[in-house]
Amino acid sequence: MAKSKSLTFVFTIILTLLFSLATAKSPRFYRTISPTSLGLHKEKLSHLHFYLHDVVSSPNPTEGKYNGSTLSMLGRNTVFSAVREMPIVGGSGAFRFARGYAEAKTHTLDLKTRDAVVEYNVYVFHY
């Protein structure tokens, strides 16, 4: 008899929990946000033109206006192709929500040291 009272009690607790979960307001895992609340009210187009000195043998850190910001590129960057086009698929800092494309052209390549100078023309929309 004690066993059946225990089972009845456990069953009642389980039903109560299930009923309260079923009737409770479902949680929201998303919400609509206004782009202006994130500072995304005016999109800009920037053209970045620079030469990347890819020196494998010695590091040389970079400073400037976009320091700490990143651009994310995808695609093949085959150094022996005359011009390569790669999509910009995102970014951070000054390039948050970035999209666009980059054109790369190798100016010099030393096959012995693997050092190279690559010209980049980057066109990027960002906020």
pLDDT of residue 4: 67
Residue 121 forms part of a structural domain: yes
Q: Edge-to-edge strands of the sheet including 44-54? A: 44-54, 116-126, 99-109, 84-92, 70-73
Residue 99 in domain: yes
| pLDDT tens for the 127 residues of the chain, in order | 566 677 777 777 776 766 665 555 666 777 888 888 877 788 899 999 999 887 766 665 447 777 889 999 999 888 788 999 999 999 999 898 999 999 999 998 888 888 889 999 999 999 8
Query: For the chain, how many structural domains are there in total?
Result: 1
Would you say residue 83 lies in a domain? yes
Residue 122 lies in a domain: yes
Encoded amino acid at 107, one letter: H
Q: Which domain holds residue 86?
A: 38-126
In a domain, 109, yes or no: yes
How many other C-beta atoms are found inside a 10 Å radius of the C-beta of residue 123?
15
Distance CA 118, CA 110 (A): 12
Flag whether 17 is in a domain.
no
68 located within any domain: yes
pTM above 0.75, yes or no: no
CB 117 within 8 A of CB 58: no
Whether 66 maps to a domain, the answer reads: yes
